[in-house]
Structure 1
Amino acid sequence: MKQDSEERCQVQSNGGSRTLRSFVIFIILLILFLCYCIPTYENSESWMPKVGKFPPETLINKTTNISLTTVSAGTSAKPWKPPEPYYVAYPNRYNFIINEPQKCQKENVFVMLIIPVAPSNTAAREAIRSTWGSERLVGDKIVSLLFLLGLPTSQDSEKLQEDLLQESEKYHDLLQSDFWDSYYNLTIKTIVMLEWLSANCQNASYAMKVDSDIFLNVKNLVNLLLSSPKQNYMSGLVARRAMVLRNPHSKWYLPQTVYAPAQYPPYALGLGYVFSLDLTVKLVEAAQHVKPVYIEDVFLGLCMKHLGIDLTDPPDGSLFNVFPVDYNRCRYSKLIATTTRSLTNQVEFWRNLQTPGPYC
């Protein structure tokens, strides 16, 4: 009997051990299964509608008086990538974390220049400040300038954000909004620009979006605007009957599922386009109804079509140039905008054009 009891206890003990081991193995397998099958928070469907910006708990108030630690805490996320091709997180509410809301009112601006630029591209901002960005008065017309940035996506984003705050304190010419600064977010950047102008710059007559690799002849720009309409006006290098690129290897490829027509409506190429300030409110409203595409200048063309407003061709087709124009003092004295091959070219060409003597 004693032997039977001991054997039964041993069997029960062995059975209990086997049950415990089976339970532990089951728990481990369950954890592994959950880790494998359930996507991470960053890639979950609930995150995708917000992927163009910070999650709500890390949003930063609209202010220029902001501490370095506050912004750094919000910029430690991984570099942003679009969750799917051609995805644009708009309409959405974006907030300014570096702002200059009184810029237009304080300076009584005639034309406001907005230069979208990457947060890390300090060299481009310095080059512009030292050249055509320094031309603030043409006759009695005041020209002002702001650089527009999103959030840095590089690994050293916290240090870069601290540098941007210091740069803002020094120059007071930065606008920064809380979307990830990415090529795929240029449409967001453009609409954020229009929202800012609509809210803060309605006393100005015109604005111009200018790429950071552009040589801009500010005097010729102002002279053009002196005789331009002050309502429903947008001009630049206007593309008409442009074909939609269906080659998947193209930088500007759009599939039919995103945009079905074979041609785009007229639009001003993004190198630099100028518009009357009354358009900002109208374009922001149109943007709520037009399906966004990531090609920002095309998207504005779609908004203009929605509004039923045609673009204005410049009086001379050589005023805006999408391909770099070889420097010639006479030629550069007559154009308004051209792309350049390098920042060095921008600086050298501008300095040469300022030297005394005839242009032609």
Structure 2
Amino acid sequence: MVEDCEKQSKGQSNSRCRSLRLYVIFTVFLVLVLCYYIIPNEMSASWAIAVGLLLPEKFATQTINASLNTVSVVTSAERWKPPEPYYVAYPYKYNLLLNEPEKCQREKPFLILMVPVSPSNTAARDAIRSTWGSERLVGDKTVSVLFLLGLPTSENRDTLQQNLLQESEKNHDLIQNDFWDSYYNLTIKTMVMLEWLSVYCQNASYAMKIDSDMFLNVKKLVEMLQSAPKQNYMTGLVARHAMVLRDPSSKWYLPKTVYKPPLYPPYALGLGYVFSLDLPEKLIKAAQRVKPVYIEDVFLGMCMTHLGIGVTDPPDGSLFNVFPVTYNRCRYSKLIATTTHSMNDQVEFWKDLQRPGPYC
């Protein structure tokens, strides 16, 4: 009887030991998994894949140093896929790959032009550099220009990234972050623009976000800003009482599950809007509280409304134009921004406006 009890006791003890060992092994394994996936990446790989955030496995990037001497970019052959529709991966920490941290301190601009453009669109960047982007001094006011990029999404992205590095070293006007450069990520591109301005360009008075396919009259823009408010100021082509498009075939479709109200708050159209440099920090804070939508100009309007700050109508309704304006020197000397039919029009209109002689 005693022997049976001792055997039973030993059996239970061995069983408890095995259970304890398994528990310890499982705990260690769990800690290792958490350390590997969550701590370095701030979110698990499976979740990143689910929301379309995960970069290709071997697309490792390092922040370029201040002198832009080196960059490390390795890509996999994995084909890029667009992010989940209507999901905006912001707030999220995106890293700078190409930077010009001393741009504003060195140039001391009154106005800085921020131009979002796709990594592959070198032609648009060169066209701007040779036209309105070359107007660096208007009266006694300095104007600076930077191009905003995300990661290339095409199959030849390795080559594209190396070309961008060379372009950056030559022109010193590229800002690149490690998010996929796509239409659905325009809100991300806008928010990292604001983050950059809040960190690196606090000494400027104004910034303008302007699309790369726009004609810009820099002189007229600076003239308008001479009498503009210094704080809580955003202007452009202001949309008021704009209806939310519920047609799934529309480029700007938003389902009620993403944005329920039938009308958007007032916002300045993304083709080109100007703002005082006290706003970036405020908008970044508001973006932590407002559910983001992929339509970037609408999202900024939502953030402005959250802050209780109104969007300002321009002094003249003809200054900003969403439809191409037929060219003549007199008309173009009085507008600030307009879409054009082609890049060639952008270049030729600007060149003609620079000719000596009266505009009207």
TM-score range, shorter chain: 0.7 to 0.9
d(CA) in 2 for partners of 1:170, 1:257: 46
Structure 2 match to 1:131? 131
User: 2:85 is paired with a residue of what secondary structure?
Assistant: coil
In 2, Cα distance between equivalents of 1:102 and 1:75: 32
Distance across 2 between alignment mates of 1:75 and 1:130: 35
Work out whether residues 152 and 181 of structure 1, in 8 Å CA contact, stay in contact via their aligned partners in 2: yes
Q: CA contact under 8 A between 2:208 and 2:272: conserved in structure 1?
A: yes
Q: Secondary structure at the match of 1:273?
A: strand
2:70 aligned partner: 67
Aligned equivalent of 1:350? 350
For residue 78 of structure 1, what is the amino acid of its counterpart? R
One-letter code aligned to 2:289: H
Quote how far apart the aligned CAs of 1:250 are.
0.4
Q: Displacement, 1:356?
A: 0.9
Which residue matches 1:229?
Answer: 229
The answer to whether residue 188 in structure 2 is matched with residue 188 in structure 1 is yes
Tell me the equivalent position of 1:80. Answer: 81
User: Which residue number corresponds to residue 150 of structure 2?
Assistant: 150
Residues in 1 aligned to 2:51 and 2:75: alpha-carbon distance in whole angstroms: 19
Q: What is the CA deviation profile of residues 307-352 of structure 1, one whole-angstrom value per residue up to 9, with x for unaligned ones?
A: 0000100000000000111111110000000011111000000000
In the alignment, which residue of structure 1 is the partner of 2:287?
287
Q: Give the match for residue 3 of structure 1.
A: none
Cα shift readout 1:150-201 (whole Å, capped 9, x = no counterpart): 0000000000100000000000000000000000000000000000000000
Per the TM alignment, residue 53 of structure 1 is displaced from its structure 2 partner at its CA by 5.2
Could you list the runs of 5+ residues in structure 1 that have no partner in the other structure?
Answer: 1-41
Distance 1:55 1:231 in 2: 44
CA distance in 1, matches of 2:322, 2:211: 11
1:123 Cα shift?
0.4
Which amino acid in the other structure matches residue 53 of structure 2?
A: V
Equivalence for 2:310:
310
Write the deviation string for residues 220-255 of structure 1: whole angstroms up to 9, x where unpaired.
000010100010000000000000001111000001
Question: Displacement, 1:273?
Answer: 0.1
Distance 2:95 2:48 in 1: 21
Q: CA deviation at 1:79?
A: 1.6
Task: Return closer, same or farther for 1:170/1:313 CA change in 2, 3 Å cut-off.
Answer: same
For 1:8-157, list aligned pairs within 5 A: 44-49=46-51, 51=53, 58-64=60-66, 65=68, 67=70, 70-71=72-73, 73-74=74-75, 77-82=78-83, 84-157=84-157
Distance 2:48 2:186 in 1: 23
Letter in 1 for 2:81: W
Distance in 2 (alpha carbons) for counterparts of 1:308 and 1:56: 44
Give SS of 2:327's match: coil
When residues 310 and 55 of structure 1 are mapped into structure 2, their CA distance, relative to the original with a 3 A threshold, is farther
Distance 2:183 2:154 in 1: 14
- The separation in 2 between residues aligned to 1:44 and 1:95, in whole angstroms, is 21
After superposition, the C-alpha distances for 1:28-60 in whole angstroms (9 at most, x for unaligned) are xxxxxxxxxxxxxx9944523561656798242
Write the distance in 2 (CA, Å) between the matches of 1:52 and 1:325. 42
Matched length: 316
- Aligned-partner Cα distance in 2 for 1:134–1:96: 25
Alignment of 1:160-175 (within 5 A): 160-175=160-175
3-state SS in 2 of match to 1:191: helix
Q: Which position in structure 2 is the counterpart of 1:176?
A: 176
Q: Secondary structure at the match of 2:147?
A: strand
State the superposition RMSD in angstroms.
1.8
Q: Name the CA distance, whole Å, in 1 between partners of 2:202 and 2:116.
A: 20
Q: 1:121 to 1:309 in 2, by over 3 A?
A: same
Structure 1 residues 90 and 66: CA distance shift in structure 2, 3 A: farther
Instruction: Calculate the TM-score normalised by the size of structure 1.
Output: 0.85
Q: Scaled by the length of structure 2, what TM-score is found?
A: 0.85
Residues 163 and 56 of structure 1: is their aligned pair in 2 closer, same or farther, counting only changes over 3 Å? Answer: closer
SS of match in other structure, 1:271: strand
Separation in structure 2 between the aligned mates of residue 243 and residue 203 of structure 1, nearest angstrom = 37
Contact 1:217–1:337 (8 Å) recurs in 2: yes
Relative to structure 1, is the Cα distance of residues 75 and 277 closer, same or farther in structure 2, using a 3 angstrom cutoff? farther
SS of the counterpart of 1:47? Answer: helix
Structure 1 residues 252 and 226: CA distance shift in structure 2, 3 A: same
What letter corresponds to residue 70 of structure 2 in structure 1?
S
Paired residues of 1:127 and 1:347 also in contact (CA < 8 A): yes
Partner SS, residue 274 of structure 2: strand
Query: Which residue does the alignment assign to 1:251?
Result: 251
Contact 1:52 1:180 in 2 (8 A): no
| CA–CA distance in structure 2, aligned partners of residues 197 and 54 of structure 1 | 28
Correspondence for 2:41: none
Distance 1:53 1:94, change over 3 A: farther
Q: Where does residue 36 of structure 2 map in the other structure? A: none
Q: 2: CA distance between counterparts of 1:168 and 1:143?
A: 19
